[in-house]
Amino acid sequence: MSKPSRTVRDVRGAGDDERRALLQRPNLCTKCSSVLTDIECVRRATSIVGFNFQVPLRTLYDSAEIASCRMCSIFLYIALRSLDDPAIIDSPVADFLDAHATAFAVLTLRAHLQPEGQRKSAYDIHELDFHGTIVGTEIHGDLTDDCTESACMKFKVYVSPGGREASYISSRECDQDMGSTAAYSKIRSWMASCDAHHSSCPRPVPKPLPTRLLDLSDPAALRIRETRGECGQYAALSYCWGGGQTFVTSISSLDDALERIPMSSLPLTFQDAVAVTRSIGLAYLWVDALCIIQDSIEDRDTEVAAMAQIYQNASVVIMAASASGSDKGLLAPTTSPRSLETESTGWQLDLPIAFPDGGTSVIHLEYDRRENHTSLEPLDSRAWAYQEYMLCRRALIYGTSTLSWRCGQGIQTWNSWLRAHLWLAAQFLLPEHGKRDPCKETWMGLVTLYARRHLTFPEDKLPAISALASEVRRLSIENGGEPGKYLAGMWEHDLLHQMLWLTILDESRDVRRAAYCAPSWSWASVDCPISFSDLRIGRTEDSGMELQMIHCTVTPRSDLLPLGQVTGGVLRVEGYLISGTEVPKPETWIYGRSQPRRNNPVATLYLDCYRNDEAAVSKAQSCVWLRVQEKYGLALEHVEAAIYRRVGCVVSINNWSGLSMERRVVDLI
């Protein structure tokens, strides 16, 4: 029986094994060997359009499949992946080449340089992209800047230390040991450079110390030290508690902790943080579990109220991003980079390259199979860690794949060819002095990101963002703003805008827990992501505002933490109310984004706990709708007398004028 003919699909491969086999082919043809050994080609590769060249498709196929040139194999794979006609893909490759004998492969090498300000030279390449498509045939693919896997393969570039190439290219082979001598040396160099050259970063001067710190000055033992108003320098730890956090300071254990804490008694993440702190020359470390008396409500409130200063005054914050609990540690080498997902053996490719001094050297390419992989670290989902990251001036981020440094100048990574650690919180979301009032749009953006994170205890919803609220108020006042009172997660002078939030739900569920967290008009009352995105387009200070706020009061649980947990709140307003039974039939409404858009709907209704189902219709008809702005309102549930509770938000109301409205004074709880 004759062997089946290879198809185009066979040649272009279907998965990892085929792609890995391409890189392991033994040869490099004369053309490919010379592509980057011409300095002019290198210069063109670093341009926006890259270095482009054409090769007859038959020639490319012969070099790849017969001569086993690994670079031609890559380009052939990419070019054939640009074809999308099943009839072509499943045809014998010999028939395809015969039918399109005049076809060419248009190939591009595009080199990406390190960011400006971080480049070692004009040739500091950190990524090389291979693009390809086929022309000269009626069946061809498109080459675009935003290439997909079928039209592009991306490689991270690194070089060996000590050679000519190391003076031009800064990326080095990945080292996963974040507790190595080299890692500590890199941390110290980051800190020294920041101290000496970054005008936007704080100076390394003594700052007021937190109430308590873990004292590391004795190599033989640790202890808690009460600082009594002293100044100095210290590190702080940001981490996930996890389910098994057992070592904490309590009222009964404080005296012993002031005397001595055995290193071996601490969970691994704490031990690693101690090692990092000592390695950078600091004698004190702040860890919430150890430096706050956990069973003292008074001490907890006092220290949570001071968290803005604690994280801002820290010389550096150590972020255990990849550890899901305090027992996981942060220094142990990981098995593989997150962006590569699996062992790197067989995914390398070496290429000769020319440099402007006239010499030629070798660069190492590592195939980045998961370039667009954006998995989050465990710490990214922790609500308390959000304000810790946003408030700190400098951070060491121990991620799954690499160690990163963040300061006022941006982010750097130890293994710079790996993508920097991804954080949902955009760096430096808080505006610079003299710009917009942070208590308005900026605060809404901060809250939107915060609400995606998780809390072990629902009652921490407001305490866990209280330090950030304190800083936002300070910045607002410095910028000439008037935020007014902080009312259960929202600002008095923008309250009528900020209470128009929407829950983000895939299905109907109860998002309000039994334990009271906040008034119903506050986003802090719901346990789910929220958004203001539908409400901010075309906004002016009081555009179309139809509601008047008479007064608003909230009751803090503790005077020691006025921006934290609340036990009650009442918002008294005067405005127009419409009974849900007066609104045109439900068939003319849209329930959130999941429902198909109709022509000229009366309204888009976002009930806090319900989505597009029968319960939503019933709830909406039993509601009272409160007009807030020209096209926005709230859906309210009657409690008693003139007291109502929010149950949803109404967006894009086409016409209130045809509805029977009554202007009344009501209390929202």
Per DSSP, 538 falls in state: T
72: left (phi over 0), alpha (psi -120 to 50) or beta: alpha
User: Helix 463-478 vs helix 443-450: angle between axes, to the nearest 10 degrees?
Assistant: 160
For the cut 60, the answer to whether the pLDDT of residue 418 exceeds it is no
Cβ proximity of 341 and 500 under 8 Å? no
Tokens coding 644: 């109502």
pLDDT digits (tens, 9 = 90+) for 475-520: 889 888 888 999 999 999 999 999 999 999 877 788 998 889 999 9
Choose from 146-155, 428-437, 611-620 the range with maximum mean pLDDT. 611-620
Cβ proximity of 130 and 74 under 8 Å? yes
- How far apart, in whole angstroms, are the C-alpha atoms of residue 371 and residue 337? 12
**Model confidence at 459, in pLDDT bands (50, 70, 90)?**
very high
For the cut 60, the answer to whether the pLDDT of residue 333 exceeds it is no
Helix (H) or strand (E) holding 279: helix 268-279
In sequence order, which residues have a C-beta less than 8 Å from that of residue 599 and are 6 or more positions away?
none
The full DSSP string for 410-422 is EEEESSTTSPPPP
Tokens coding 655: 């016409």
Comparing CA positions, the residue from 317, 326, 331, 327 lying closest to residue 400 is 331
Query: Per DSSP, which regions of 185-297 are E strands?
Result: 207-208, 212-215, 223-226, 231-232, 235-238, 284-286
Instruction: State residue 590's pLDDT score.
Output: 59
The full DSSP string for 55-110 is EEHHHHHHHHHTS-BHHHHHHHHHHHHT---HHHHTSBHHHHHHHTTT-EEEEEEE
Among 6-20, 270-284, 444-458, the least confident range: 6-20
Helix (H, G, I), strand (E, B) or coil at 460: helix
Tokens coding 266: 């601490």
**Pairing state between β 235-238 and 316-319:** parallel
Phi, psi (degrees; rounded to nearest 5) at 24: -95, 0
**Model confidence at 180, in pLDDT bands (50, 70, 90)?**
confident
One-letter amino acid at 560 equals: L
**Is 181 buried (19+), middle (13-18) or exposed (0-12) by CB count in 10 A?**
exposed
**Model confidence at 613, in pLDDT bands (50, 70, 90)?**
low
Comparing CA positions, the residue from 290, 329, 438, 304 lying closest to residue 383 is 304
Helix (H, G, I), strand (E, B) or coil at 268: helix
Among 83-92, 279-288, 316-325, 462-471, the least confident range: 83-92
Tokens coding 227: 């600082």
Question: Helices (H) and strands (E) in the chain — how many of each?
Answer: 19, 28
pLDDT digits (tens, 9 = 90+) for 621-664: 788 989 998 788 999 999 999 999 999 998 866 666 667 788 99
- How far apart, in whole angstroms, are the C-alpha atoms of residue 368 and residue 374? 13
- How far apart, in whole angstroms, are the C-alpha atoms of residue 232 and residue 240? 26
- How far apart, in whole angstroms, are the C-alpha atoms of residue 558 and residue 495? 23
Cβ proximity of 173 and 136 under 8 Å? no
Comparing CA positions, the residue from 588, 425, 450 lying closest to residue 531 is 450
What is the mean pLDDT of the segment spanning 29-47?
86
CB count within 10 Å of CB 606 equals 25
Tokens coding 77: 């794979």
- How far apart, in whole angstroms, are the C-alpha atoms of residue 258 and residue 48? 61
Tokens coding 332: 């142990």
pLDDT digits (tens, 9 = 90+) for 569-590: 999 999 999 887 776 665 556 5
Tokens coding 398: 């121990």
**Model confidence at 355, in pLDDT bands (50, 70, 90)?**
confident
Helix (H, G, I), strand (E, B) or coil at 590: strand
Classify the C-alpha dihedral 163-401-334-311 as positive or negative: positive
**Pairing state between β 643-651 and 603-607:** antiparallel
Tokens coding 82: 């640009």
**Is 126 buried (19+), middle (13-18) or exposed (0-12) by CB count in 10 A?**
buried
For the cut 60, the answer to whether the pLDDT of residue 372 exceeds it is no
Cβ proximity of 552 and 487 under 8 Å? yes
Cβ proximity of 124 and 114 under 8 Å? yes
CB count within 10 Å of CB 203 equals 8
What's the longest Cα–Cα distance across the chain?
90
Cβ proximity of 295 and 456 under 8 Å? no
**Model confidence at 155, in pLDDT bands (50, 70, 90)?**
confident
Phi, psi (degrees; rounded to nearest 5) at 91: -85, 155
- How far apart, in whole angstroms, are the C-alpha atoms of residue 636 and residue 553? 19
Question: Tokens 């008009």 label which residue?
Answer: 521
pLDDT digits (tens, 9 = 90+) for 231-255: 999 999 999 998 767 789 999 999 9
- How far apart, in whole angstroms, are the C-alpha atoms of residue 431 and residue 439? 10
Tokens coding 225: 């030290």
The full DSSP string for 21-63 is HHHT--B--HHHHHHTTSHHHHHHHTSSS-EEEEEEHHHHHHH
One-letter amino acid at 654 equals: N
